[in-house]
Chains A and B, each alone.
Chain A
């Protein structure tokens, strides 16, 4: 094989490789920029016939299916001001008025699974109650 042919093959491979790497990186960037985050739509606040809006029930703590090593947890979240909060589990009924809008309530857990239902009865009677259901687990660390 001639020296010129070998040089041509060498440079051909070199430039081809550089181009392939460049194109691959560029197409990845374009693909990433085209991707959009898929997130659940934000919960809409309910509106009554008079156009009044009600703050939706949101629970920041605890998370559904969470595991705890202590038998007391705190329910934290937000709900409509002056609504009635009812939190029920097989071992506890908690009924409080949500005077602030935000709530932070202590709640006991039984060993193992705790099925808990949270219901908010709004002060404005034309609104429907809001509900959330969750399971949390208390697994003693000594087990």
Chain B
């Protein structure tokens, strides 16, 4: 009995001694100099910077941009028609910023100002096929293509263009259409009038597209002609 009691006491003593020593070791010394704290602070700051950089890198990697005509807007959700594919977009009240592009400038708008049929460019992080928008830009949609002039109607100021993928476009040349031709010697771009266009010339054009437009009749924003003489010189 005596032995048991003695051993119990001995074991208890050893345990108390060990735990006590650990606790004392973990308690910061009041007399310790401030330099280790500064080093720790610096390390923490470096770690924070590293994490911030990594987060920014991952965000950049996962950052995608999509564009298309808006099919529907419902609260914080929007559906885009991205050339046949439907993309889901989510607005985040604290994160998403929306702008309307006005030429070379932009004006901040509310996401509630975005309407069906607008052309939207969305940048954000994609997860589970849903893009959480960081930025939404409402802009105009331009089509850029090229082909050969196959027909010129001088009465209606209209031309027909056959592209290499066998699409035929009907382009109206308006007074506001910027018309240029390449100088075959200098390759400089020169301003021209409608009368300079010839069947057989190569044409590069820019047109505006709207959500309602389904055919290939457009009003040209800009045309650039490579005259056929360039190819026979």
Contacts and interface: CB of A to CB of B under 8 A. Distances in A.
A53 to B, nearest CB: 20
Contacts of A73: none
A98 B141 CA distance: 30
A65 B65 contact: yes
A111 B144 contact: no
Contact of A93 (B65, B134, B204): B204
Contacts of B135: 139, 143
Contacts of B164: 128-129, 131
Contact of A113 (B121, B204, B221, B222): B121
Main secondary structure on B side of the interface with A: strand
Interface stretch (B13-21, B40-48, B99-107): B99-107
B67 interface: yes
Interface on chain A toward B: helix, strand, loop, or mixed SS? strand
Given A67-B65, A113-B67, A125-B231, A143 B146 contact: no
Which 5 pairs of residues, A with B, have the shortest CB-CB distance? Answer: A137-B65, A90-B142, A112-B137, A117-B144, A112-B121
21 contacts: A65-B65, A86-B226, A88-B144, A88-B204, A89-B144, A90-B142, A90-B206, A93-B222, A111-B106, A111-B137, A112-B137, A113-B141, A116-B144, A117-B204, A125-B232, A128-B164, A129-B164, A133-B144, A137-B121, A139-B123, A143-B99
